[in-house]
Amino acid sequence: MTEAGYTTAARTSEFAFVAQESLAIPMFSVLAQDGTACCGADLSVVEQTVALRIYQAMLFTRVLDERMVAAQRQGRISFYLTSTGEEAASVASAAALSDQDMLMAQYREQGALALRGFSSEQFMNQLFSNELDLGKGRQMPVHYGCKALHYMTVSSPLATQIPQAVGYAYGQKLAAGEHVTLCYFGEGAASEGDFHAALNFAAVLRAPVIFFCRNNGYAISTPAEEQYAGDGIAARGVGYGLQTIRVDGNDALAVYLATQKARAYAIEHCAPVLIEAMSYRLGAHSTSDDPSGYRSKDEEQKWREYDPLVRLRAWLYRQQWWSEAEDKALDESLRAEMLAAMKVAEKIPKPKLRELVTDVYDTPSVELRRQQEDLEQHLKRYPEHYPRTAGRA
C-alpha cells in the first residue's frame, strides 16, 4: 500500500475479511422477453432509427451465420465462427459509438462490423480468401479487418487485442480527440495475463477505452463455473479501479444504453470503463467444435427462450415500428443477398502469390524474399496439391 493509501484507508479494530458477497454487482436490464419495458425503465430515449438499425444488423448477422455454417458443411469454406445468441452484445454496443471510434474485436463480433456497413460482398470476399479480400487472403476466415470502418484486423492469439486497445486509446488521449476505443473479448480471454495488464495500464494511464466482455458461459468447452470462482468479470474491473457495469447481453436496448453512458464517461473523464455483458453462446465454439460433448440440448433450449432477436423484435412490434410482413421480407431479402454474394465470391481468383509479402514492409527483407522463393519452388514441384493457387504467380 502506498503512503497515500496508508494514510487515507479507514481503520477498524473489528476483524473481518472482505468477501465477494459484499460486492454483489447487479445486472442492468430494461427489456423483458415479451417486449415490454422492465424494472421501471424509460425507453422513450431510444430513437426509432437507432432501434431499427440495431435490429436489422442483428438479423443480418443471424442470417450470415446460418448461411456460412451451411457453406462450411458443404466444403465451400474451411472454417467459421458464429455469434448466434450473442448478436445484441456486439451490434447494440457498436450502435452506441461514433463511427470513428476504434473497434478491436475478438472473433465473434461480425455484427458490429455489419452495423458499420461491411457489405455481404466484403464478408464473402474475406471468408473465401479471394483477391478482393481486404486482407489479401492472408488471414483465416472470420478474421476481418477494415481500416475505413475503424475495425482493427482480428488476431488469432487470444486476448492480444486487449493491451493493444489500451495503447490505441492512450494515443487517442494524446491526440486530444473525442474518440474512444472499444475492445471486445470473451470471459475466457479474461483469464489471460494480457487482460490484467491491460486493465491496470488503462486505469493508471487513464486511457479512454471501453473493455467489453461477452460472458457467454463457455471458453470453448470449459463452462464459466470452471473458469473463475469470483463474481464474474465485472468485479475485476472494480478491483483495478475502473467504472464498471454488468448488463443483460441479450437485451439490445440495455447494451445500447449502457455503452452510450460508458462512452460519455470515458470521454468526459478520460478514463476506462468495463462492461460485462451476460449472454449465452447458442452455437458451437466454431465449426470444428461439437458442443454435445460438454453440454445438453435441454440447456441450449432453455437459453433459446432468451433469444435477443425475439426480444427486440417483440418490442419493435409493440412500438409499431416494425411488422411481421417487413420482418419476413427482410429475412428473405438477406438470404437471397447472401447466396448471391457467396456464388460470386467463390469464383473470384485467389490473391497472386507475389502479393504475399509485398506490403508487409516498404522493402521485403532478405528472409522474406528467401521464404517466398522457397514457396514458389515448392508450388512448382507439387502443383497438384495446390490447384487454386499454384498458377497464381
Q: Would you state the pLDDT for residue 5?
A: 82
Q: Would you state the pLDDT for residue 177?
A: 86
Beta strands in the chain (DSSP E): 27-28, 102-104, 151-152, 181-186, 209-215, 218-219, 222-223, 243-248, 273-278
Q: Would you state the pLDDT for residue 393?
A: 66
Which amino acid, 101?
Answer: D
Q: Would you state the pLDDT for residue 1?
A: 58
Q: Would you state the pLDDT for residue 271?
A: 98
**Helix %, strand %, coil % of the chain (to 5):** 45, 10, 45
Q: Would you state the pLDDT for residue 2?
A: 64
Domain 23-346 in CATH: superfamily? Thiamin diphosphate (ThDP)-binding fold, Pyr/PP domains (3.40.50.970)
Q: Would you state the pLDDT for residue 18?
A: 87
Edge to edge, the sheet with strand 151-152 lists: 27-28, 243-248, 273-278, 209-215, 181-186, 102-104, 151-152
Q: Would you state the pLDDT for residue 361?
A: 87
CA pseudo-torsion sign 200, 204, 205, 206: positive
Q: Which helix (H) or strand (E) holds 381?
A: helix 366-381
Q: Would you state the pLDDT for residue 20?
A: 83
Q: What is the pLDDT along the chain (393 residues), one digit of tens a residue?
A: 567 788 888 999 999 898 888 888 999 999 999 999 998 999 999 999 999 999 999 999 999 999 999 999 999 999 999 999 999 999 999 999 999 999 999 999 999 999 999 999 999 999 999 999 999 999 999 999 999 999 999 999 999 999 999 999 999 999 998 999 999 999 999 999 999 999 999 999 999 999 999 999 999 999 999 999 999 999 999 999 999 999 999 999 999 999 999 999 999 999 999 999 999 999 999 999 999 999 999 999 999 999 999 999 999 999 999 999 999 999 999 999 999 999 999 999 999 888 888 888 889 899 999 999 999 899 889 988 887 776 666
- Domain-by-domain residue ranges, the chain? 23-346, 353-385
